[in-house]
């Protein structure tokens, strides 16, 4: 799950060139409706596949998890912190989360992507039964 906390680089505070390049330009939300609208816009435009929570305006989730500007956590089945990543962007390492999860649950195997420009393989067709002549 992702929890959206206060905006890291809002247009009305500290906008980054990368936000403009990536078309992720939002003003700092002033109320929960603004924050929800940004979260909805982001998740729809980028087809974000994970559940998306939104911190309330008193920033309780951010304060409890020291989440701003970005941070990764793994919570165990009891809700206890099993892994606490460093603060992003410089101590933000998603590969550490992958390693932790692989050690705990086993590695996930993904199909290798086809090299760019290679022809797609035709779909498999079922073999016809061999009949003697």
Number of domains forming the structure of the chain: 2
Residue 43 lies in a domain: yes
Could you tell me the two tokens for 66?
């020291």
Which domain does 12 fall in, by range?
1-58
Judgement on whether residues 43 and 82 belong to the same structural domain of the protein: no
Q: What is the pLDDT of residue 121?
A: 52
Judgement on whether residues 22 and 51 belong to the same structural domain of the protein: yes
Render pLDDT for 37-70 as a digit per residue (tens, 0 to 9). Answer: 989 988 898 898 888 889 999 999 888 888 777 7
% of the chain with per-residue pLDDT over 70 = 86
Q: What is the pLDDT of residue 36?
A: 94
pTM (two decimals)? 0.61
Residue 93 lies in a domain: yes
Question: Residue 10 above 50 pLDDT?
Answer: yes
Residue 113 lies in a domain: no
The DSSP line for 53-116 is EE--TT-HHHHHHT-SS---EEE-TTS-EEEEPPPTTTT--HHHHHHHHHHHH-PPP-PPPPPT
Q: Which helix (H) or strand (E) holds 38?
A: helix 32-45
Q: Pick the last residue of a domain from 21, 38, 58.
A: 58
Judgement on whether residues 11 and 46 belong to the same structural domain of the protein: yes
């Amino acid at each position: 799950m992702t929890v959206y906390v206060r905006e890291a680089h809002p247009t009305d505070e500290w906008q980054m060139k990368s936000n403009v390049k990536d078309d992720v330009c939002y003003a700092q939300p002033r109320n929960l409706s603004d924050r929800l609208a940004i979260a909805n816009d982001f998740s729809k435009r980028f087809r974000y596949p994970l559940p998306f929570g939104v911190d309330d305006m008193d920033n309780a989730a951010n304060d409890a998890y020291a989440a701003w500007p970005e941070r990764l956590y793994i919570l165990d089945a009891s809700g206890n912190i099993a892994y606490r990543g460093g603060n992003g962007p410089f101590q933000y390492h998603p590969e550490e989360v992958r390693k932790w999860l692989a050690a705990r649950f086993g590695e996930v195997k993904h199909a290798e992507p086809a090299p760019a420009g290679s022809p797609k393989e035709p779909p498999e067709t079922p073999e016809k039964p061999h009949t003697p002549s």
